[in-house]
Chain A
Amino acid sequence: MGTVQYLMDGFATALQWHNILFALVGVIIGTAVGVLPGIGPMSGVALLIPVTATITSGMPTEAAAASSIILLAGVYYGAMYGGSTTSILLNTPGESSSVVTALDGYQMAQQGRAGAALSISAIGSFVAGIISLIGLVLLAKPLSSIALEFGPAEYFSLMLLGLCAVSGLAGKSVTKALIMTVLGLMLGTIGIDAVSGIARFTYDIPVLYGGIEFLTIAVGLFAIGEVFKTILEREADDEPIAKISRIMPTKQDLKDSAKPIARGSLLGFFIGVLPGAGATLASFFSYITEKKVSKKPDSFGKGNIAGVAGPESANNAASGGAMIPLLTLGIPGSGTTAILMGALIMYNVQPGPLLFNDHPDIAWGLIASMFIGNLVLLILNMPLVKIFAKIIQTPKKYLLPIIIAISFFGVYAVQYSTFDLYLLIACGVFGYLFTKNDYPVAPLVLALVLGPMIENNMRRALTISNGEWSVFVTSPLSLIFLIIAIAWIVVPLILKLLGRNVVINEEE
């Protein structure tokens, strides 16, 4: 069967009525999550995993996995889009990837062109989503067949590369990012060892035998941590929201933003495919590019529509591009994709090259549903922009406690243990402390997801080689991965020593 045939089958899965509903619900919730202050894509997706797990609990595993991943992916790119709404209307970016959107978007809103800015960012997101999906369709098969040739040694090195890439770009201090990574790997070793069946670090506490649940950690660090932060550092008064008058962009607006959208989409896609470099970098680079290409660089920062169109397309394209390493190699390149991967593993579906062979309906169903989801996003957001802008005004008084209650309900419904709830609270406190002191938490979650796989591949590789550690450097592919991994950590350090400013990727 060719790619087209697979894609058609994918559409057959995605067009089942309940999956359309899931995609619809996903993008609506995602947009709301993106718009709401305080919860970004990462906490939004983490928060919804338990909810989707309960909704799909009656379905057969395969179908349940397909449906919930469709919903969660919808939340992901819905949130990427929703984040721009707050940057434009309030000048307060919902997530770091829409920081640059605020530069020109808010200016446009001040000039009474908020509607145009919002609709251009919706159109840009749509085009970018479609372009990155086409890229995903074209690259999925070839990449996963290359990855099928990988042995355990190659996998081990590749995963190490993924971790290094995310840590190297994750925060102000590489040391701190690496510490968080190692902490995540350590948490992953708690429980029964999968190879020998020996209990490790359980101290005879029964709840620890099953290991630390990734879901609890992710929801705690991101969602609860974020809530605690907002409670602690609450600002008294909210800024007034810019009014939206005319929604449709003018012909001139469309003409001015066509090229930035195209450039932003391509740039964002390629940056998104790289592990570690996520949507934030993509939108940032796109802004710089637009400013360089523009005939009137002075007009940037004063409400130039290209400054909205480019970065917005880039960050959505990057989130599509980030799905490629996740689906084809099983290596998540960012915090949010790590959480998506954790969700798949919960359903006993292992992302990676075998995904396209073992579970074609999940892989292709997801891809097809993203086409539908992007279309839904465009259709919904143009007329509903005003309603979503209303969501911003949800009083924090009600919002924050309800987020805590939803997290509690979600984690309890999946885990049935109050131990996990205590752990959730503890993770929330740590999540707040870590983020406040520049310890990035995304690498920790990524490491927790990848940890067991890294260990298994390491031990498998060493078993095949009879305990020879050189196996990781004698295989050429593995050696290349390791060299890139080291370069990813070392090069930014050298640049810093040389006094260059290094762009870092904040949490997304």
Chain B
Amino acid sequence: MVKSFDKISGIVFLVISLLFISGSLQISGSAYGSAVGPKTYPLILGVVLGLLSLRLIYESFKKNAQTQHAEKSQMNYKNFGIILVSAILYIFLLEIIGFVISTFLFLLVAFQVMEKGKFISSIIIAAVFSIGVYMMYVNLLGGTLPKFSLF
């Protein structure tokens, strides 16, 4: 897994470096009295990353020829997927349905995904956390968090 990841990431880094170099060449060059303009430093970085990613690709192919350990471990992709999606939904809904409700829903879903059961204590902990944080932050510290509003 590590080796194939290295190959892919090496190529991705190479592409990033090329994009970065071309991007930095498009930055307008005037230096306003200083000897070096705003594009020199990013240009150097782009070139260095390019060289390093070539080295990484070389290393990953070289090691590939030697040995390859395929380690399979039990991965919890399903749980991770659900939590990731619900986290994204949480962000999306945060400014629409407000902090308290979205946080409560996210926590409830995540608690149940982690381990089914104990529904009541999940509800209580999620509610205490979301309402508690909101009250403390908004009422005590005078901050603002998105409120529930349909408009």
Contact = CB atoms under 8 A, between A and B. Distances in A.
Contact of B23 (A183, A201, A397, A409): A201
A186 B80 CA distance: 30
Interface stretch (A67-75, A88-96, A460-468): A460-468
Interface of A: 54-55, 57-58, 173, 175-176, 178-179, 182-183, 185-186, 189, 193, 195-196, 198, 200-201, 228, 231-234, 395-398, 400-402, 404-405, 408-409, 412-413, 418, 421-422, 425, 429, 433, 436-439, 455, 458-460, 462-463, 465-467
Given A58-B142, A413-B137, A231 B41 contact: no
Contact of A425 (B16, B75, B87): B87
Contacts of A179: 13, 49, 52-53, 56
- Name which of A179, A198, A413 has the most chain B CB atoms within 10 A of its CB: A179
A458 B2 contact: no
Given A179-B49, A231-B76, A400-B114, A437 B9 contact: yes
B90 A459 contact: no
B87 A404 contact: yes
A210 B130 CA distance: 30
B135 interface: no
A232 B88 contact: no
A451 to B, nearest CB: 9
Given A58-B142, A175-B55, A176-B56, A425 B88 contact: yes
B24 A231 contact: no
A438 B88 CA distance: 27
8 contacts: A54-B143, A175-B55, A179-B52, A182-B48, A196-B37, A405-B103, A458-B41, A463-B34
Contact of A232 (B33, B35, B80, B145): B80
Nearest to B104: A405
Contact of A397 (B75, B94, B111, B130): B111
A424 to B, nearest CB: 8
Nearest to B33: A463
Contact of B52 (A175, A398, A425): A175
B64 interface: no
Given A196-B37, A460-B34, 16 more contacts: A54-B137, A57-B141, A182-B45, A182-B48, A201-B20, A232-B77, A398-B111, A404-B110, A405-B107, A405-B130, A409-B137, A418-B92, A418-B95, A422-B91, A462-B34, A467-B35
Contacts of B49: 179, 182-183, 186
B15 interface: no
Q: Determine the main DSSP class of A at the interface with B.
A: helix
Given A196-B32, A397-B115, A425 B94 contact: no
A459 B133 CA distance: 45
Given A58-B142, A200-B38, A422 B88 contact: yes
A361 to B, nearest CB: 24
Contact of A412 (B40, B42, B55, B94): B94
Interface in B1-56: 1-2, 5-6, 9, 13, 16, 20, 23-24, 27-28, 30-42, 45-46, 48-49, 52-53, 55-56
A463 B35 contact: yes
Contact of B141 (A55, A176, A402, A463): A55
B83 interface: yes
Nearest to B40: A459
B141 to A, nearest CB: 6
B110 A232 contact: no
B125 to A, nearest CB: 6
Among B56, B91, B95, B141, the one with the most A-chain Cβ atoms within 10 Å of its Cβ is B91
A466 B23 CA distance: 26
A186 B24 CA distance: 11
A439 B122 CA distance: 36
A462 B74 CA distance: 54
A504 to B, nearest CB: 16
State the 4 A-B residue pairs at the shortest beta-carbon distance, nearest first.
Answer: A401-B110, A467-B35, A397-B114, A193-B38
B68 to A, nearest CB: 14
B110 A54 contact: no
Contacts of A193: 38
Nearest to B134: A409
Contacts of B149: none
Nearest to B34: A463
Contacts of A176: 56
A440 to B, nearest CB: 14
B75 A232 contact: yes
Contacts of A409: 99, 103, 133, 137, 145
Nearest to B75: A232
Contacts of B39: 200
B114 A185 contact: no
A465 B90 CA distance: 53
Interface in B67-109: 73-77, 79-80, 83-84, 87-88, 90-92, 94-95, 99, 103, 106-107
Given A57-B141, A200-B27, A233 B75 contact: yes
Task: Name the residue among A55, A196, A201 with the largest chain B CB count within 10 angstroms.
Answer: A196
Interface string B123-134: 001000110010
Contacts of B94: 408, 412, 418, 421
A400 B111 CA distance: 9
A114 B111 CA distance: 33
